Amino acid sequence: MGRKKNRLPRFPFDYINTKADEYNNSRWMERNQKRATLLSIQYLFDKNFNSSKANGIQSGVSSLVMDLGCGTGFSSEILVENGFNVIGVDILPDMLLKAKEKKKNLKISRFLSLVLADINFLPIREKIIDNIISISAYNFIVHGKKNKNERAKLLNDTAKCLNKILKKKGRIIIEFYPEDDQELTLFNNSFTKNGFEGFMVRRNPKQKSGQTFLLLKKRV
The residues pairing with 166 across neighbouring beta strands, listed in sequence order, are 129
What are the average pLDDT values for consecutive 10-residue runs of the chain, which has 220 residues? 51 76 92 95 81 44 86 95 94 94 84 91 92 93 86 94 94 92 92 95 74 92
Q: Domain-by-domain residue ranges, the chain?
A: 13-218
What distances in angstroms separate CA 174 from CA 17, 68, 135, 213, one per listed residue? 26, 9, 6, 5
How far apart, in whole angstroms, are the C-alpha atoms of residue 40 and residue 75? 10
Does residue 12 have a cis peptide bond before it, meaning omega lies within 30 degrees of 0?
A: yes
pLDDT of amino acid 6: 47
pLDDT of amino acid 52: 40
Strand 166-176, strand 212-218: pairing: antiparallel
Residue 82 identity: N
pLDDT of amino acid 169: 87
213: three-class secondary structure by DSSP: strand
Enumerate residues 6+ apart whose C-beta is below 8 A from 143.
11, 12
Q: What angle do the packed helices 74-81 and 27-44 form, to 10 degrees?
A: 50
pTM here?
Answer: 0.87
Order of strands across the sheet that contains 166-176:
112-116, 85-90, 64-68, 129-135, 166-176, 212-218, 196-202
- The domain 13-218 is classified under which CATH number: 3.40.1790.10, 2.130.10.10, 3.40.50.150, 3.30.70.20? 3.40.50.150
pLDDT of amino acid 60: 42
